[in-house]
Structure 1
Amino acid sequence: MHIGFLFNHHGGHQVAHALPVALELQRQDRHARVSILVSEGSESEVRRITAAQAPAGAPPDIVRLRPPSPLARAANRFSGRAIPADIVSVLHRNLDRFRELDALVVPEKTSLLLKSLFGLKSLRLVHTRHGAGDRAIGFDKASAKFDLVLLSGEKIRDRLAQAELLNDDGHAIVGYPKFDLPPRPTGPRLFPKQRPTIVYNPHPSPALSSWYRMGPQILDWFAASDRYNLIFAPHVMLFAKRVTASLSPFALGWNYGPRPDHYAHDHLLIDTGSPASLDMTYTDAADIYLGDASSQVYEFIRRPRPCIFLNPRRIAWQGNPDFAHWRAGTVVETIDELAAALADPPRLPGPMRQRQEDMFRYSFDLQDRPSAARAAEAILAYMGGG
């Protein structure tokens, strides 16, 4: 049995959601051949995690995929990286490798093209998903096209079931493999002075992100204040593309990142894509979460703390399951409202703490057995090997 794990993206933010499963599968079944297939954008994060987590004496098979064609690269650059022609080209140029597999495990949905466009009908596709957020795109029709879907908890199962996207014999609740990774070794203090620390974590979607309408103002506000330390750690794809498109609803965003020299203050830390922005270093370090649509808020409330959500578009969010995470804190629409919310360091009242704990348990089914082990067992059982 040959099982592949594919990481084919411009960034490494999806790696931790599936790579621990690959390493655990290799531990559990030495008769299964596990190949980790990587493209340029994900390779460094795959190798970083693998170096620390791979089974002793049994290094995993990491295969560097053939890169996209020059034409696909040009199309990607010409569109400001809005058109993922390079990602699709990688799939096409490595079909021979995918044909060798019995199953392919992926954290994204573009790989469905292997069946729908490239004709690999017999290849079984396993979806680990990435994150446990509430955005509508996580529950679109593509979610039902995988042979097996691994779910973090009851919330994801219930929403897929309500949308009639859940196959009875093609899903398993396994927890959250990213939580199995140990924390990074403690480094130097993030800030020289002890202040309440806020992590600002805007999403890249121009239809949902606070960055495009108020992000620079937020950085300016914190730069002018000495009350808080601020970690600006957006989704790693926010500035990876010059143009970002949202399809539902349609919106375009032109991505101009902050100039670090413009915010050269000892109480501001700007990180737009280092490993620390991927492995929960900042969500663990912060006292307060500031964000919009990112699923990272659910990783943050693993340890309940105050949250503030930014709604510059004045979305009618109450009762909308796509914004259920906003129930975990205070929602503000303007810089003035944000300033008022931060006039004093926010506290977490008992009822809100209980709400966050309930939301976390509903999103993540964590047990004594590691999530990656449960995911590996689910894959082997589905493939007939467990």
Structure 2
Amino acid sequence: MRICFLFNHDQVHQVAHSLPIALAMLDAHLDAEIVIATSNARLTAEVTRLSGGRPGLPVVELGLTRKSSRLAHQVLERLVPAGKLLFYRDNLEFFRSIDVLVVAEKTSLILKTQFGLDHLKIVHTRHGAGDRAVGFDPASALFDHVLVSGPKIRERLISDTGVKPEAISVVGYPKFDLASAAPVRPLPNDGRPLVLYNPHVSPHLSSWFTAGRQVLDWFVDHPEYQLIFAPHVMLFERPFTISVDKLRIDRPGRMEARHLNAPNIHIDLGSRASTTMAYTQAADIYLGDASSQVYEFLLRSRPCIFLNPQGHDWQDDKNFNHWNLGRVITGVDQLGSALETASADHADGYRHVQREQFENSFDLTEEPSARRAARAVATFAGLTAPLLQPIAEFARVAYG
């Protein structure tokens, strides 16, 4: 039995979602070969970092082996993820040697749909616990097994995509196993409220393209607040961004000097810190739109504000369910009042809603989520795993 955990992306944000599962399976000493495969040096470095530099880590770095693939990557990569797709064609022999492939994304399904690897069983770990429709599209039903963080995801996969209940395991959120007990604050802790502005990458949902610069302008003019501007790591990765679920293209543009030089603003367009929950743990207030990171922010209940400059009709739309976690504003002209009342609004009602939605999104117990997920993968693969057997005394984790 050969089980591969694959990381194939331009950025490193998906590694923390499934690498902890691979490490738990290695620690269980299963009667199977566990392989960790990456598609570039950046991902390899992140795997090494998150694993604590443990010796003998079974990492193989694959790449584009064909000259035509490398040329296409050089020509097209600034616009579309050509290399990410060509990677599968160039490494078919490797994937033929795998029995179970564990992935956090969906492009790997082309190994079955396009390249005919019918023997290969693919397990989807997902990455995030958000509400966007793209997370519940028909492709989800093509996986052989799906690991989900909580009942919300399970129920919606069954109802919206037709995933069979027996093909789903609720395992909690392995990324939370990596959460730091003492998050680092990137700006001075001088009593000013610290706001995290976390716009999504998709042009049809993101507040960045219509209101983002006005948000930054507002904080430049209001130094009584501090701001972390940490958008989705893919927002500034390419000159253009493209919506996958609803076709739309837009330009993120460049950062302006008055924003970069503002002493009360910390800007991070995609460093490792943007993927480690450092900012979601450090901030006092969350300001966003469609990113699933809001649910990671709720690991500790705090005020949320959501920007809706595009006028989405969201109240009865389950794709915007997270907008019930805080006040929704339609423009930057309402930002000041929303921030002023954020703490009171939170105490008066949103805290209760956050608790309900967090527990529906994350089924957490005292047992590490990565261990639960490793047991689910081993069971799916038909492996006996004595070191991964469930322990009855692990209790549910109460939401704070």
* TM-score grouping bracket, smaller chain normalisation: over 0.9
Aligned equivalents of 1:164 and 1:274: distance in 2?
34
How far does residue 66 in structure 1 lie from its aligned partner after superposition? 1.9
Relative to 1, partners in 2 of residues 1:184 and 1:302: Cα closer, same or farther, differing over 3 Å?
closer
Instruction: Please show how residues 48-63 of structure 1 align to structure 2 within 5 Å.
Output: 48-51=49-52, 54=54, 59-63=56-60
Which residue number in structure 2 is paired with residue 44 of structure 1?
A: 45
Residue 294, structure 1, aligned to residue 294, structure 2: no
Between 38-47 and 212-221, the greater mean CA deviation after superposition = 38-47
Which residue number in structure 2 is paired with residue 383 of structure 1?
A: 381
Counterpart of 2:328 (choices 328, 331, 336) is 331
1:303-351 deviation per Cα after TM superposition (whole angstroms, max 9, x unaligned):
1111000101100000100000000000011111122212455432242
Unpaired runs of 5+ residues, structure 2, are 385-400
Between 34-43 and 147-156, the greater mean CA deviation after superposition = 34-43
What secondary structure does 1:3 align onto? strand
Counterpart of 1:356 (choices 351, 354, 357) is 354
Residue 241, structure 1, aligned to residue 238, structure 2: yes
Relative to 1, partners in 2 of residues 1:59 and 1:184: Cα closer, same or farther, differing over 3 Å?
farther
Relative to 1, partners in 2 of residues 1:228 and 1:73: Cα closer, same or farther, differing over 3 Å?
farther
Aligned equivalents of 1:7 and 1:260: distance in 2?
35
Contact 2:132–2:319 (CA<8 Å) still a contact in 1? yes
Instruction: Please show how residues 365-384 of structure 1 align to structure 2 within 5 Å.
Output: 365-384=363-382
Contact 1:175–1:365 (CA<8 Å) still a contact in 2? yes
Counterpart of 2:123 (choices 126, 129, 133) is 126
Aligned equivalents of 1:370 and 1:164: distance in 2?
28
Counterpart of 1:168 (choices 135, 146, 165) is 165
Aligned equivalents of 2:118 and 2:325: distance in 1?
42
Relative to 1, partners in 2 of residues 1:260 and 1:155: Cα closer, same or farther, differing over 3 Å?
farther
Relative to 1, partners in 2 of residues 1:89 and 1:152: Cα closer, same or farther, differing over 3 Å?
same
Instruction: Please show how residues 76-95 of structure 1 align to structure 2 within 5 Å.
Output: 76=73, 78-79=75-76, 81-95=78-92
Which residue number in structure 1 is paired with residue 394 of structure 2?
A: none
The one-letter code sitting in structure 2 at the alignment partner of 1:155 is K
Which residue number in structure 2 is paired with residue 183 of structure 1?
A: 180
What secondary structure does 1:331 align onto? strand
Aligned equivalents of 1:356 and 1:338: distance in 2?
21
Contact 1:18–1:177 (CA<8 Å) still a contact in 2? yes
Alignment TM-score, normalising by the size of structure 1? 0.94
Instruction: Please show how residues 125-144 of structure 1 align to structure 2 within 5 Å.
Output: 125-144=122-141
Counterpart of 2:154 (choices 157, 166, 172) is 157
Which residue number in structure 1 is paired with residue 28 of structure 2?
A: 28
Residue 103, structure 1, aligned to residue 104, structure 2: no
Between 284-293 and 249-258, the greater mean CA deviation after superposition = 249-258
Contact 2:30–2:383 (CA<8 Å) still a contact in 1? no
Unpaired runs of 5+ residues, structure 1, are none
Relative to 1, partners in 2 of residues 1:170 and 1:25: Cα closer, same or farther, differing over 3 Å?
same
Relative to 1, partners in 2 of residues 1:242 and 1:181: Cα closer, same or farther, differing over 3 Å?
same
1:75-128 deviation per Cα after TM superposition (whole angstroms, max 9, x unaligned):
455556342211111111111111111111000000000111111110110000
CA RMSD of aligned residues (A): 1.9
Which residue number in structure 1 is paired with residue 18 of structure 2?
A: 18
Aligned equivalents of 2:133 and 2:73: distance in 1?
26
Aligned equivalents of 1:68 and 1:265: distance in 2?
45
Contact 1:289–1:300 (CA<8 Å) still a contact in 2? yes
The one-letter code sitting in structure 2 at the alignment partner of 1:183 is S
Aligned equivalents of 2:176 and 2:158: distance in 1?
25
Between 258-267 and 298-307, the greater mean CA deviation after superposition = 258-267
How far does residue 368 in structure 1 lie from its aligned partner after superposition? 1.4
Aligned equivalents of 2:350 and 2:111: distance in 1?
44
Alignment TM-score, normalising by the size of structure 2? 0.91
Instruction: Please show how residues 213-362 of structure 1 align to structure 2 within 5 Å.
Output: 213-259=210-256, 262-343=259-340, 346-347=343-344, 348-362=346-360
How far does residue 292 in structure 1 lie from its aligned partner after superposition? 0.3
What secondary structure does 2:195 align onto? strand
How far does residue 260 in structure 1 lie from its aligned partner after superposition? 5.7
Between 158-167 and 19-28, the greater mean CA deviation after superposition = 158-167
Between 324-333 and 175-184, the greater mean CA deviation after superposition = 175-184
Contact 2:12–2:46 (CA<8 Å) still a contact in 1? yes
